Amino acid sequence: MVISRRQFLAAAGAALAPPARKPNIIFIVADDLGYGELGCQGNPEIDTPHIDSIARNGVRFTQGYVTAPVCCPSRAGFMTGRYQTRFGHEFNLIGRENLKPDAGLPLDEVTLGDCLKRAGYATGLIGKWHLGGSSRYHPLRRGFDEFYGFLHEGHFYIPPPYRGLITRLRVNEPPYDDANPILRGEKPVEEREYLTDAFTREAVAFIDRHKERPFFLYLAYNAVHSPMQAKVSDVRRFQDSIHDEQRRVFAGMLAPMDAGVGAVLDRLRKYNLDRDTLVLFISDNGGPTAELTSSNKPLRGGKGQLWEGGIRVPFLAQWPGTIPAGQVIEHPVCAMDVFPTAAAAAGAELPGKPLDGVNLLPLATGRSAKLPRESLYWRYGMNVALRKGEWKIVRQREPGREDPPFCLFNLGEDAGETKDLAAAKPDLLRSLQAELRALNAQMMKPLWGPSQVWG
């Protein structure tokens, strides 16, 4: 008997994953949230009980990475499950660059929204897109049935004149990113609620609307990205505990996101859906320490860099009844793994292009002690890095150092990248460089931004 590929995959999927109901998938992404900023990540200053509860009810990956140290390429990586440098999505789009007709996630790439929509899911993006601001890249044409949010890299939290806010916008600064309205679908709307709270409101309403069928909710808060704007009431809560005024505003931006995650989790419990829902939480890149007072402790560097502080992020997941609770897993994982993980949970067919991400469920459920992937690779312009096992090589430009040598670190002993072992281990350095070069040869030139890249 000859069976079609589709029938074969359907049969294989049924044999592997027999749940009565396909699980919902909620993927929550924070923006520019540093590695050390959550309570469960060691922050003693700002409570994040609701986000922390995901770790308590599931797993906290201590070595979770993103594929780029800035927003737009990082999102291209996890939204496709592939190194974004494979398709030229290497650099950020800022302001009106987002509107260029050819700037956006290449149209022949398959998004996680596409994948899950084809598997019968109701799909919604609430929050920040940042994968193209012109019509053909719009989320409604990239696998999402519903969209509420904005298309560019950031957004003010309340439109001017910022009543009831403590804001760190400079006087006379033009309205932040003025060609970037809040959209419902494709229609601009006037949003008067503090944006983080508005996204929570929309997320909860999405769950209300779709609770009867499998849904995929991609909740991409722009918190805690600039501009630094928080409600006066939220900043006041930290009046006594945080002395630095800038830091208090930051705390006032993080707190409503934590409350929002709490509201989403509450909704799942209300409908008795928590055991039927895989929830993942990450940040899209490390914190920009100067601007946001954000902490990547104990890691080196921050946003825009391939030091650990730029690319290692909070990385949490829960799926009660399937992923055992209270786990801390140190094996390196990456945001591009979310795609195949969600697809496996959903029994969805993977796109034809090879993925760089791998399914995390065998690791998270304890069926396997490691992932079927030995190395992680990064390129961001002239900066590159490769991690293999505990070892990492990294070439990171710094001010006054345009052509830096490769550093070699043992992250198992030295997560803070303080002790460069390149000179002490030349053979290991060379073999990791060779592997990096081989991977790099598979990558494309950037579609926009600087044309000069490493290699």
Active site positions, annotated: 71, 130
Instruction: Provide, for the chain, the percentages of residues in helix, strand and coil under a 3-state DSSP scheme, each rounded to the nearest 5.
Output: 30, 20, 50
> Among all residues, whose Cβ is closest to Ca ion?
71
Give the bridge partners for 220, in sequence order: 29, 127
CA distance 390 to 380: 21
Q: Of the two residues 32 and 234, which places its CB atom closer to Ca ion in the complex?
A: 32
Per CB under 5 A, contacts with Ca ion among 376-395 are: none
CA distance 316 to 40: 10
Smallest distance, Å, CB 355 to Ca ion?
A: 22
User: Is 222 a residue that touches Ca ion (CB under 5 A)?
Assistant: no
CA distance 224 to 17: 37
Q: Of the two residues 199 and 391, which places its CB atom closer to Ca ion in the complex?
A: 199
Q: From residue 335, give the alpha-carbon distance in Å to each of 54, 105, 152, 338.
A: 16, 17, 21, 6
Smallest distance, Å, CB 71 to Ca ion?
A: 4
Which of 32, 114, 145, 356 contacts Ca ion by CB under 5 A? 32
User: Is 84 a residue that touches Ca ion (CB under 5 A)?
Assistant: no
Smallest distance, Å, CB 140 to Ca ion?
A: 23
Which of 41, 123, 285, 359 contacts Ca ion by CB under 5 A? 285
Q: From residue 109, give the alpha-carbon distance in Å to each of 6, 345, 428.
A: 20, 21, 35
Residues constituting the chain: 455
Which of 30, 31, 287, 436 contacts Ca ion by CB under 5 A? 31
Smallest distance, Å, CB 224 to Ca ion?
A: 9
CA distance 110 to 349: 12
Q: For residue 274, which amino acid is it?
A: D
User: Is 284 a residue that touches Ca ion (CB under 5 A)?
Assistant: yes
Per CB under 5 A, contacts with Ca ion among 90-129 are: none
Smallest distance, Å, CB 330 to Ca ion?
A: 24
User: Is 341 a residue that touches Ca ion (CB under 5 A)?
Assistant: no
Contact 49, 302 (CB under 8 A): no
Q: From residue 292, give the alpha-carbon distance in Å to each of 244, 252, 288.
A: 12, 12, 6
Which of 29, 71, 257, 329 contacts Ca ion by CB under 5 A? 71
CA distance 153 to 295: 21
User: Is 37 a residue that touches Ca ion (CB under 5 A)?
Assistant: no
User: Is 153 a residue that touches Ca ion (CB under 5 A)?
Assistant: no
Q: Of the two residues 31 and 197, which places its CB atom closer to Ca ion in the complex?
A: 31
Q: Of the two residues 68 and 116, which places its CB atom closer to Ca ion in the complex?
A: 68
Residues found near Ca ion in the complex (CB under 5 A): 31-32, 71, 284-285
